[in-house]
Amino acid sequence: MRSYRLAVIAGDGIGPDVTAAALAGVEAVSRRFGFTVETTDVDLGAEAYLRTGEVLDEASQSTLAEHDAILLGAVGDPRVPPGVLERGLIVALRIAFAQSVNIRPVRLYPGVPSPVAGVHPGNCDLVIVRENTEGLYAGGGGLTHPGTPQAVALQNSVTTAAATTEAVEFSFRLAAARRGRLTLCHKTNILTHAGRLWQEVVDEVGARYPQVERDYVHVDAMCQHLPLDPGRFDVVVTDNLFGDIISDLGATIQGGLGVAASANHNPRGSAPSMYEPVHGSAPDIAGTGTANPAAATLSAALCLAGLGEHDAAVTLEAATASVLAELPALAGTAMGARTGELGERIAARAADIDAAVVADPAGSLLSALAGLAPAPAEARG
């Protein structure tokens, strides 16, 4: 029997609740499709930091490295200064585990309303791929003369051919497995040095994928085109900062952060990839049972696809979409069910949903990702 080891960082705020709901779905599809998932809870986040003074200790990182994948709930707490957990945990793991590609699906499911007029399931199914370790997020820079009129802040941006090529190569492979269109999103007319490198890499890699149509959109123009004409796009590849911004815009048009999943992906399979809902820890509603677990469950579906478990992944996605379509609202008490109840409903649906409902559209992200999945280091057949 196939077996996988999944490290779970429940984290802060609503993280534990949505993670528990997602794991119920994983358990349901693992039983249905004949594999096992062994989970290990790893205590990281605000509480661990406040207790120990360490964001990511060596022992925890070593434990994470021994697993096939990582499922993260959320991190963030008003008692911890901004950036401590985000940089010290999430960004640190992206770098340590060579999670060079961030995958943000933007898909509107049937029955789920979009706040943007004209957006419907037939024209909203794209993937934003962002380089995940460099750009302005590389962390270089400094602040001189703080607190004075002479204060100067420098924030350095780093773009290397190696990291850019890895993100672009993955994006072309993904586009070739989907609808065959790739869009580079950048600001090449202003950020001329980094923009030139990105364009050169896209041209060079693209020459090996003649079946993939290419185009280019400035990032500011993307903020107009994405909500007005999402059907124009298939795979969008961009840098770290631009991807962070436009993917939240994408989350809005697909129904909100409560239904937006993501993957921090190691395309070589040399270390575990990490999967997390896009929403934050939402400390104001922590423990109230009013968080939508769909984003976490869909992130778990991405995880299963990344492990090569195609049937389980598309079944969990279909079950989640089916339950979402029944909700009177996508967030808060207006959903009509608590977080745990929704997790149970999704798990029950995943256990027995009709195969016809699960029919996976050609070129779906989960199909493409499962087809590109490297063999996990610890998977046992």
Q: What percent of the chain has pLDDT over 70?
A: 96
Q: Is the pLDDT of residue 1 over 90?
A: no
Confidence at residue 373, expressed as pLDDT on a 0 to 100 scale:
84
Confidence at residue 354, expressed as pLDDT on a 0 to 100 scale:
82
Q: What percent of the chain has pLDDT over 90?
A: 93
Confidence at residue 139, expressed as pLDDT on a 0 to 100 scale:
83
Q: Is the pLDDT of residue 200 over 80?
A: yes
Residue type, 221: A
**pLDDT tens string 8-55:** 999 999 999 999 999 999 999 999 999 999 999 999 999 999 999 999
Confidence at residue 356, expressed as pLDDT on a 0 to 100 scale:
67
With 0-12 / 13-18 / 19 or more C-beta atoms within 10 angstroms meaning exposed / middle / buried, residue 271 is middle
**pLDDT tens string 207-224:** 999 999 999 999 999 999
Global pTM value: 0.95
60-92 in b/e burial notation, b at 16+ Cβ within 10 A?
bbeebeebbbbbbbbbbbeebeeeebbebbbbe
CB 109 within 8 A of CB 121: yes
Confidence at residue 378, expressed as pLDDT on a 0 to 100 scale:
44
CB 233 within 8 A of CB 268: no
Q: Is the pLDDT of residue 379 over 50?
A: no
Average pLDDT over the chain reads: 95
In the chain the first and final C-alpha atoms are separated, in Å, by 6
Q: To which residue do tokens 């046992």 refer? A: 380
Confidence at residue 359, expressed as pLDDT on a 0 to 100 scale:
60
d(CA 251, CA 255) in angstroms, rounded, equals 6
Residue ranges and CATH numbers for the domains of the chain are: 1-101+258-380 (3.40.718.10), 114-254 (3.40.718.10)
**pLDDT tens string 310-345:** 999 999 999 999 999 999 999 999 999 999 999 999
Confidence at residue 67, expressed as pLDDT on a 0 to 100 scale:
98
Q: Is the pLDDT of residue 376 over 60?
A: no
Confidence at residue 362, expressed as pLDDT on a 0 to 100 scale:
61
Q: Which residues contact 192 (CB under 8 A, 6 or more apart)?
A: none
Provide the CB-side half-sphere exposure for 78 (13 A, CA).
4
Confidence of residue 374 (pLDDT cuts 50, 70, 90): confident
Confidence at residue 107, expressed as pLDDT on a 0 to 100 scale:
96
Confidence of residue 266 (pLDDT cuts 50, 70, 90): very high
Question: Residues 369-373: what's their mean pLDDT?
Answer: 90
With 0-12 / 13-18 / 19 or more C-beta atoms within 10 angstroms meaning exposed / middle / buried, residue 334 is exposed
**pLDDT tens string 74-98:** 999 999 999 999 999 999 999 999 9
Q: Is the pLDDT of residue 236 over 80?
A: yes
Residue positions counted in the chain = 381
